[in-house]
Structure 1
């Protein structure tokens, strides 16, 4: 399994946010559509039904602020012995019938994403909504590379740019 931007990619699945465990909520992206996971969520949607997917409430900080936040969290755990789950963010799936919100756990260490990874992930979500073949690209990458673990930041950003077809100057 590997974290790339807001995505958790395994050898056979792509999740927006962390892969849910047990009854935790989550969102799985498939070549057929979007599946909300966990109790209290409706049925899945085909890509023809999905108008937009949005990630909101994502913790985003610059590299230096992210490191400071991770250091502070590490000290807090050492002092109190009490670790916390990574922060959650909201995934909104918009269809003709309305918008459903699903809370998912962050994939990033400490739950904080860099601005570049966040913006590239948002661009990729737009492309996925427009072309379901993109999920196939992520799944193919996962089959060949997810077992290697999370790539370094530069490689993650390069993958996001490739998948998003991004010409962004971030």
Structure 2
């Protein structure tokens, strides 16, 4: 499984944001359509009905965000050392981003957890948004683009590629 831009690709499965588990919210892109997963958002928007895909609430990688993550990790470590037995602390869930699906059957807002702890690089956010627009252009475009993403996911072995590779993949898929 690998993260490429705003997409989490596990085998042949493509998700917007992190791959959900259990009742956690998530969004999967399938050959049939856009699938909302998780509690209170199980829905299917067929590709033939989808007219636009846009994503909002995307955290962009910045120095301040990276410092904040490191600070939170340090505070957590100190707290665990000072209060090792049941500190009563509850881990925070990652932030959510929203995929807006415009379709002839109505508009839907689907939530997905962010997969990048310190946010996404701005270039990858822009390229991912372009790719989502491309997917909504029509069935033939969606089929070839989503098939290329899935094929890459099935062939990829290892962790997420480096930034330059991720950008190149996003450019290829959006072309």
Would you call these one fold, judging by a TM-score over 0.5? yes
Deviation at 1:42, TM superposition (A): 4.5
Give SS of 2:133's match.
helix
Q: Which residue number in structure 2 is paired with residue 153 of structure 1?
A: 163
- Count residues with an aligned counterpart: 159
CA contact (8 A) 2:69 2:117 kept: no
Return 5+ residue gaps in structure 2 as ranges: 78-88
**Alpha-carbon distance in 2 for matches of 1:150, 1:40:** 30
**Alpha-carbon distance in 2 for matches of 1:129, 1:77:** 39
Residues 71-108 of structure 1: CA deviation (Å, up to 9, x unaligned): 33122221234653321111111111221111111121
Question: Is residue 2:149 matched to residue 1:138?
Answer: yes
Deviation at 1:43, TM superposition (A): 2.9
**Alpha-carbon distance in 2 for matches of 1:43, 1:85:** 23
TM-score (structure 2 length as normaliser): 0.84
TM-score (structure 1 length as normaliser): 0.87
Give SS of 1:98's match.
coil
Larger Rg: 2
Give SS of 2:71's match.
helix
Give SS of 1:45's match.
strand
Return 5+ residue gaps in structure 1 as ranges: 166-170
Q: Which residue number in structure 1 is paired with residue 49 of structure 2?
A: 49
